[in-house]
Structure 1
Amino acid sequence: MSFLKNKPDVFDDDFEPDLTDPDNPEWTEEDFARALRPHEFPEWIFEAFPNTPRPVRGTQKGPTKTPISLRVDTDILERYRATGPGWQSRMNDALRKAMPG
């Protein structure tokens, strides 16, 4: 490797870069406790960074549910969605109560 013969020795074996930043201190336990998880971010964060992928949900911890395609009347769907987060679980509970047998 003749092209490396005249290369200056710019790296010192004892060199350790200072990676601390006084404007960005190390996080404390309280900082981690206050931090939001990606699914808790406000919508404007995703709008400000449109190329950022949405968080992907991991494997379900409880009993696995089966994803299906189900056609329901529009007014029924709108009423469930209007109840806010958790509407799918409430719809599942209503189906369970109406289940035959």
Structure 2
Amino acid sequence: MTKAKFTKADMDAVSDSPELTAKDIAAARPFAEVFPEMAAKMRSTRGPQKTPTKVSTTIRLSPEVIAHFKAGGAGWQARIDAALKEWVATH
């Protein structure tokens, strides 16, 4: 993947936004105030679990363990959880 290189001329050709003045800045309002519905959609989260099945915690693991599970891509934390469950079941 090559990084695009834009010249000042390129930027000037597509930039039609004037510099903001002190008056413009003083009149600015927060995005959420100007577009409340759009802002609400953007900040929506999953919300609380209906039946929590996991507990949030902090654990320190060796870099090799983290690298191994992250190498498998997305879901690496769930794979660590599954490996620990398997270990608990056999011990």
Which category describes the TM-score, using the shorter chain as reference length?
0.3 to 0.5
More helix by share: 2
User: What TM-score does the superposition give when structure 1 sets the normalisation length?
Assistant: 0.40
User: What TM-score does the superposition give when structure 2 sets the normalisation length?
Assistant: 0.44
User: Which structure would you say has the larger Rg?
Assistant: 1
